Amino acid sequence: MTVEGGSSRLTVRVPLGSDVVVGAESGGVGVVGPLGHVSAVSRSGRVIVSDVTSADIRAESGRVEVDGCRGECVVRGDSGKVEITECGTADIVTRSGRITVSGVRGDVRAHCVSGRVEVDLDEAADVDAETVSGRIVVRYPRGVTPRRTDEDDAVGGDCVLHARAVSGRVTVGNR
Amino acid sequence: MIATDTQAACLGAILFTDLVGFTEFNDAVGDARAFEVLDLQAALAGQAIASVPGARVVKELGDGLMIWIDTADAGLSCALELMRSVERARATGDLPLGVRMGMHHGEALPRGDDLVGQTINIGARVADLAGPGELLVSEALVANCGDVHAATTLRPVGPVFVKGVQDPIWLHRVVDPA
């Protein structure tokens, strides 16, 4: 089923667990589950997604918030902040927007050019975090030690951390 | 001088690549290292299209490349090959930046060695929406691919409104079967 809206507010109700694809030229997009896979694209305006199986979200300038994505969560942003709370795996990229990921149960990939990347893990998981000139902060639960790929003598570890900043700073610690 | 005589439109696939964060990288490491990275991207692209008839690098666009391939199938093969070689170069640390890629299919008009037209404009916009290490393709590209790429996994990205184009363009994210 395809629904086309105009310039006014549009609300669509779908059966529980449906896959949803949303494209907006401008204005915010809100998707509230329980739903299956959600793809959402917005040129401007905030994108908010909650309680979905998996998500692919593209926002050129707006902020992105995901709360409750059981599987893979893919976000491509530009200047807006990206905030993920609770997801299976996270694959987040922005240009200058800040990335905040917490409550993740799987692996995390968080790349930005000049923004700040902040990853807060509840359990041991592999993290791939990159920035050119921004800052990276990764926090593990108490007792979890990552194997850092940027250290020549890296061995063992509960998980792998690839954190790279060309001219920025990387901070790794435990809560 | 650019030859501007009217030439027949050509049908094919346009692939745009872009080194993500290149300007900031250049600022951080200087021109010499940045130059090496540009060379490496060009070399990887050259290898990916070397054995494909009808494929050529049309031009370099700052930190990106514009590549034309005569068919959608061959275009997707080239893009996947380039994606893999970039990933290998990233894994070894040779390539410090990710490469994003976008593809579209349609007609373009030759203008000297260059190509112009809405197909080219849309292809560039598709690449803008990709993240590092990611290949996005338009529905038009997918529709013109044969069974060769039936095994390729496509994930829906959705309808994207492109500046200057009235109707939304449906995009897919390509997941490398390899």
* Interface predicted TM-score of the whole assembly (ipTM), two decimals: 0.81
Find the residue in B nearest to A113 (Cα): B21
The answer to whether the CB atoms of A43 and B156 lie below 8 A apart is no
Find the residue in A nearest to B169 (Cα): A23
The answer to whether the CB atoms of B160 and A23 lie below 8 A apart is yes
Listed in sequence order, the residues at least 6 apart from A168 whose beta carbon sits closer than 8 Å to its beta carbon are A131, A132, A133, A134, A135, A136
Give the separation between CA B3 and CA A22, rounded to whole angstroms. 43
Q: What six digits make up the tokens of A39?
A: 């793809």
Burial of A39 (0-12, 13-18, 19+ CB in 10 A): buried
Among candidates B28, B160, B161 on the partner chain, residue whose Cβ is nearest the Cβ of A167: B28
The answer to whether the CB atoms of A93 and B27 lie below 8 A apart is no
Question: Looking at residue B140, what is its pLDDT?
Answer: 95
The answer to whether the CB atoms of A56 and B155 lie below 8 A apart is yes
The verdict on whether omega for the bond into residue A34 sits within 30 degrees of 0, i.e. cis, is yes
- A46 and chain B: CB distance < 8 Å anywhere? no
Q: Which residues of chain A neighbour B135 with C-beta distances below 8 Å?
A: none
Among candidates B20, B97, B156 on the partner chain, residue whose Cβ is nearest the Cβ of A21: B156
Greatest Cα-to-Cα distance within chain A, rounded to the nearest angstrom: 59
Q: Which residues of chain B neighbour A21 with C-beta distances below 8 Å?
A: 156, 158-159
Give the separation between CA B162 and CA B148, rounded to whole angstroms. 29
From A106, A125, A117, select the one nearest A82 (Cα to Cα).
A117
Average pLDDT for B154-171: 86
Question: Would you say residue B4 has pLDDT above 60?
Answer: no
In angstroms, the separation between the Cα of residue B51 and the nearest Cα of chain A is 33
Question: What one-character DSSP code corresponds to residue B103?
Answer: E
Question: Looking at residue B109, what is its pLDDT?
Answer: 95
The answer to whether the CB atoms of B28 and A133 lie below 8 A apart is yes
- A111 and chain B: CB distance < 8 Å anywhere? yes
In angstroms, the separation between the Cα of residue B178 and the nearest Cα of chain A is 19
Q: Are B105 and B119 in contact (CB under 8 A)?
A: yes
How would you write chain A as a 3-class SS string?
Answer: CCCCCCCCCCCCCCCCCCCEEEEECCCCEEEEEEEEEEEEEECCCCEEEEEEEEEEEEECCCCEEEEEEEEEEEEECCCCCEEEEEEEEEEEEECCCCEEEEEECCCEEEEECCCEEEEEECCCCCEEEEECCCEEEEEECCCCCEEECCCCCCCCCCEEEEEEECCCEEEEEEC
Distance (Å) of CA B77 to CA B112, B145, B148: 26, 10, 9
Q: Are B79 and B152 in contact (CB under 8 A)?
A: no
Give the SS3 label for residue B144.
coil
Across chain B, mean pLDDT equals 90
Place of tokens 């994108």: A47
Give the separation between CA B167 and CA A107, rounded to whole angstroms. 37
The answer to whether the CB atoms of B161 and A43 lie below 8 A apart is yes
- Look at the alpha carbons of B16, B20, B24, B27 in this order and tell me if their dihedral is positive or negative: negative
pTM tops 0.90: no
Q: pLDDT truncated to tens, each residue of chain A (175 aa)? A: 777 777 778 899 999 999 999 988 878 899 998 999 999 998 888 999 999 999 999 998 889 999 999 999 999 998 899 999 999 999 999 998 999 999 998 999 999 999 899 999 999 999 999 999 889 999 999 999 999 987 766 677 889 999 999 888 899 999 8
Q: Which residues of chain B neighbour A25 with C-beta distances below 8 Å?
A: 161, 168
Question: Looking at residue A150, what is its pLDDT?
Answer: 78
